[in-house]
Amino acid sequence: METIKTEVMTNDAKHLGAEAMTEEQDLPAGRFSSWLRRIRSAQVTENGADVPCGECNACCRSYYFIPIRPEETEALTRIPRELLVAAPGLPAGHVVLGYDEQGRCPMLIDNQCSIYEHRPLTCRSYDCRIFPAAGVAAGDEGKAPIAQRIRRWKFSYPTPRDRNQHTAVEAATRFLRERAECFPAGVIPSDSTQLAILAIKVYGVFLKRTNEPGKTGRVSPDREVAEAVREANEKFEARRDRLKVQPTQLNHTKQPAT
């Protein structure tokens, strides 16, 4: 009887060990330059990000508020009205979907999104690879499920361009954090998700600096770099605004962001 009990315990331990090992196995995040091009394009076109989630639903369990625009009728008609609240600081019609006491999205039922095909744009655009790309944590302890996923993502760098672009995104993040005083109050996001997205939008400023031969560190005055960042962000947003004004061009726009 003791032998059987020991064998069962051993098998359980092996099973738990295999699960732990599986949880910590690296996940291929893709070639960095290819991923960066796609995520920037997704930010411009708002067509959603292509993320290999598999069975993961960590973002649905990490205390995220989900903003929803009034034109997102496919999502709004499928979410009970009592789960939505007016989005602070935004025009009427903009709402926010909250989470339950465990940090879970109320539309997550039986560990699956019950409105997946009609989920909000925020959900369709979410790609947790932005955090390892920018070198930032997802947030506080409430983001533990997504933090575990983030640790597993590993980008590949088959060419110097891939590595240089990643270095530039990380440099952009550091500058935005460490030189926030160079920008008007409120311009630099305190939210880690928005900070990572901003770094991805303006990374080109730091790519140019990184690639200049014989130059390291801060080669331009901080204010000058901050102005270049502002201009890069304005150009990026202008591209998105043009597509909003001319939505019929969306299906014909094949040029990815670079």
Average pLDDT over residues 57-80: 96
Least confident of 16-25, 68-77, 235-244: 16-25
Judge whether 118 and 43 are in contact, CB under 8 Å.
no
Q: Is the pLDDT of residue 176 over 80?
A: yes
More confident residue, 208 or 4: 208
Q: What is the pLDDT of residue 240?
A: 82
Q: What is the predicted pLDDT for the residue at 208?
A: 73
Give the separation between CA 133 and CA 143, rounded to whole angstroms: 17
Of the candidate ranges 98-102, 109-113, 144-148, 251-255, the one whose mean pLDDT is the lowest: 251-255
Q: With a cut of 70, say whether residue 21 has pLDDT above it.
A: no
For 10-14, 122-126, 129-133, 138-142, which range has the lowest pLDDT when averaged over its residues?
10-14
Q: Tell me: pLDDT of 148 over 90.
A: yes
Burial code (b: 16+ CB inside 10 Å, e: under 16) for 6-26 equals eeeeeeeeeeeeeeeeeeeee
Neighbours of 157 (CB within 10 A): 15
Give residue-wise pLDDT tens across range 93-102. Answer: 999 999 999 9
Is 244's pLDDT higher than 80?
no
**Which pLDDT band, with edges at 50, 70 and 90, does 141 fall under?**
confident
For residues 154-161, average pLDDT = 97
For 32-41, 55-64, 190-199, 238-247, which range has the lowest pLDDT when averaged over its residues?
Answer: 238-247
Q: Which span out of 135-149, 167-181, 210-224 was modeled with the highest average pLDDT?
A: 167-181
Residue 26 structure tokens: 């690296």
- Asked if 29 and 157 count as a contact pair (C-beta separation under 8 A), the reply is no
Which residue would you say has higher pLDDT here, 216 or 71?
Answer: 71
